[in-house]
Every structure is written in C-alpha cells, then in structure tokens.
C-alpha cells in the first residue's frame, strides 16, 4: 500500500502524491518535507520515487477537481464493481 501527503499529522487522512492512495499521517513512517510542505507516503517505494524527483510529484499533489458530466459514475480502476456518484476512495483498496 502507499502513504499519502498533504496533511499535518493528526488531521485524519491525506493522499500519497506518488500513487494517489489515502494515507494516515499519524501512522505512516514514510514522510518527506519539500518546499516547506509535509508529504506522507504509503510505502518506502513511493517515498524513494518522490525523493528522486520531488518537484514532479509535489506539482501533482494538489490536482484541480475535474468536472464530471451529469450522471457520471465513478469507479475504482482496480475494482470496477465499486460504483459511486462522485469521487472518493475505494472501500476495498483505498485508491482515489
């Protein structure tokens, strides 16, 4: 699994800027600070990728919300049986 970035420890959950998974900043040991912002990761692998090119991933850490057409159904790319009326994390794997 992958940890996520963007939140302060103790604030709930955030998103790993490398893989997009939801991470609990209070429990993940995989963290980095870049340009004064704390980032949290689901795994050592995602942390290593971030450290190799932090500007690439930091720029992706705050994506703009996509406009979806009326009636769009959101699914998990790993579990297409999960269908929702809006964006969110998969209840099976945690992917956004």
Angle at 43 between CA 40 and CA 46, to 5 degrees: 75
Digit-coded pLDDT (tens) for 27-40: 999 999 998 899 99
Longest dimension (CA), the chain: 40
6 falls in which pLDDT band (50, 70, 90)? very low
What pLDDT was estimated at residue 62?
Answer: 58
What pLDDT was estimated at residue 61?
Answer: 61
Q: What are phi and psi of 58, to 5 degrees?
A: -65, -35
Burial of 19 (0-12, 13-18, 19+ CB in 10 A): buried
pTM of the model: 0.54
What pLDDT was estimated at residue 86?
Answer: 80
3, 12, 77, 93 from 80: Cα distances, Å: 22, 26, 6, 12
Digit-coded pLDDT (tens) for 50-75: 999 999 888 776 555 566 778 888 88
């Amino acid at each position: 699994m992958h940890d996520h970035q963007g939140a302060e420890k103790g604030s709930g959950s955030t998103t790993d800027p490398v893989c997009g998974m939801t991470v609990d900043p209070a429990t993940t040991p995989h963290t980095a600070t870049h340009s004064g912002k704390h980032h949290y990761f689901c795994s050592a692998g995602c942390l290593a990728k971030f450290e190799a090119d932090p500007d690439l991933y930091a720029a992706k850490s705050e994506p703009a919300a996509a406009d979806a057409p009326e009636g769009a159904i959101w699914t998990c790319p790993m579990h297409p049986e999960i269908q929702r009326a809006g964006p969110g994390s998969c209840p099976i794997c945690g992917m956004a």
